[in-house]
Homo-oligomer: A and B are copies of this chain.
Amino acid sequence: MSRLDVTEKIIATKVAKGLKWADVAAEIGLSKEWVTAGCLGQMTFNDEQAATLAKLFDLTETETQWLKVVPYKGSLPTSVPTDPLIYRFYELVSVYGTTFKELIHEEFGDGIMSAIDFKMDLQREANPAGDRVSIVMSGKFLPYKTY
């Protein structure tokens, strides 16, 4: 058994029970973004969180144990994603990648935006011309150390 098996069981159970990620997150008491990423095998849960998920998804003790182990991360089967929704994000990196770089360096100097000390919020943005997806990302700026 591995974390992947637990992830697959969570997804299958979610389909079978008709659960929603937002409700799962509410049970955990954290954002739907972080909780969903965790359920999809990208984050590590503590004892209490794992226990809550165990109930929601009918996990065995060993499966619950795996939720507390740091997973091998990376959720995509290919380096360039084939799924159209996920590809659009890859395309943003491809088209705007050098723009991100230029603007962050212009504002902060040499360094990066952390993908670890990072949070995000995804919301529906009502719009008469068609609703929009709004994503607010916030990552700590980490300057390159000189030594």
Measuring CB to CB, which residues of chain A are less than 8 angstroms from any residue of chain B?
1-2, 8, 11-12, 15-16, 18, 20-22, 30-34, 36-37, 40, 42-44, 62, 65-66, 69-70, 72-76, 78-120, 122, 124-125, 127, 129-147
Given known A-B contacts A75-B98, A99-B37, A122-B103, A133 and B138 have beta carbons under 8 A apart: yes
CB distance from A22 to the nearest CB of B (A): 7
Contact B116 A145 (CB under 8 A): yes
Contact B16 A65 (CB under 8 A): yes
Q: Which residues of B contact A22 (CB under 8 A)?
A: 106
Contact B140 A127 (CB under 8 A): yes
Cα separation A110 to B112 with both chains bound (whole Å)? 20
Q: Which residues of B contact A132 (CB under 8 A)?
A: 113, 138-141
CB distance from A34 to the nearest CB of B (A): 5
**Residue in contact with A93 in the complex, picked from B40, B65, B89, CB distance below 8 Å:** B89
**Residue in contact with A99 in the complex, picked from B40, B100, B108, CB distance below 8 Å:** B40
Cα separation A137 to B89 with both chains bound (whole Å)? 11
CB distance from A115 to the nearest CB of B (A): 4
Cα separation A14 to B93 with both chains bound (whole Å)? 23
Cα separation A36 to B95 with both chains bound (whole Å)? 11
Contact A100 B89 (CB under 8 A): yes
